[in-house]
Amino acid sequence: MAEGLFTEHLEVVVQDTTFGAAQDLDYALRLLAAAREGAVAPTVRIYRPRPTAAFGQRDVRLSGYAAATSRCREAGYTPVVRRSGGRVAVYDEGAVIIDHVQPHPDPIVGSQDRYQEFSAVIADALERAGVRTGIGELPGEYCAGEHSVFGTDGVHRAKLVGVAQRVIAGAWLISAVVSVEDTASLRTLITDVYDDLELPLDPGTIGAATDFSPALTPDTLIEHLVWAYGRRTDLTVR
């Protein structure tokens, strides 16, 4: 599966502490550049972030961008602009971030397969944690994407995972934000930021894994993610 997500061996790095909102995003890009040079083997990095408002490139050009960033700062969330696609994602320590980076001679090849395989890994981890999941875009979801992972109880559906990919000559990076725990104040902040940017949003699509599996914690989900990767390929975990 050389053109997909998995090689014969993956390094999995569980990062104990964050470097900071902007620094964590920058570190993922540094890993990507190092992979292009052959200095980094196929690697999965997993960590819990600091409060972050990760805006997309298109968000910066919207008239409400200044108001949205000001609102995030007042709430204690550091605004940053990410290189990958998509709209603004707001998250904190209740989330888990996954960065999967890999060298590849022609990284555009297989990019859609990577999305599908990556979302499936995360869905497997959530299912093992007791969350019934599906993959696909919910109508009106925030940071919309066709490879989002949602949770469901059979009646209500809520987005739990946003996925983005960045491709450069010689390597690719695919990343996800998994909402494990959140608060009413975070959901309100997301709604208000989308109002500032005049972006469509159905607040009912905002969710966390604990809506469907109340005992789940971010650290437990990390264990399940390692398990889900380990079902597919050989791992070294550190």
Q: Tokens 């998994």 map to which residue?
A: 178
61-118 per-position pLDDT tens digit: 999 999 999 999 999 999 999 987 789 999 999 999 999 999 999 999 999 999 999 9
pLDDT at 3 over 90: no
DSSP 202: -
77-86 per-position pLDDT tens digit: 999 999 877 8
Quick check: is 194 in a domain?
A: yes
CA of residue 176 relative to chain centroid, distance: 2
Q: Are strands 95-103 and 234-237 parallel, antiparallel or unpaired?
A: unpaired
187-233 per-position pLDDT tens digit: 999 999 999 999 999 999 999 999 999 999 999 999 999 999 999 99
Quick check: is 60 in a domain?
A: yes
Q: Average the pLDDT over 40-65 and give the result.
A: 96
Quick check: is 2 in a domain?
A: no
Quick check: is 4 in a domain?
A: no
Other CB atoms within a 10 A radius of the CB of residue 153 amount to 11
Quick check: is 1 in a domain?
A: no
Whole-number mean pLDDT of the chain? 95
pLDDT on residue 7: 80
pTM of the model: 0.95
pLDDT on residue 84: 73
Torsions phi, psi for 61 (to 5 deg): -85, 0
**Domains in the chain: how many in total?**
1
**Which CATH number do you get for residue 14?**
3.30.930.10
112-128 per-position pLDDT tens digit: 999 999 999 999 999 99
- How far apart are the C-alpha atoms of 76 and 70, rounded to whole Å? 10
- How far apart are the C-alpha atoms of 130 and 174, rounded to whole Å? 25
Q: What is the residue range of 31's domain?
A: 9-218+228-237
Quick check: is 111 in a domain?
A: yes
Quick check: is 223 in a domain?
A: no
Q: Are strands 149-152 and 157-168 parallel, antiparallel or unpaired?
A: antiparallel
Quick check: is 3 in a domain?
A: no
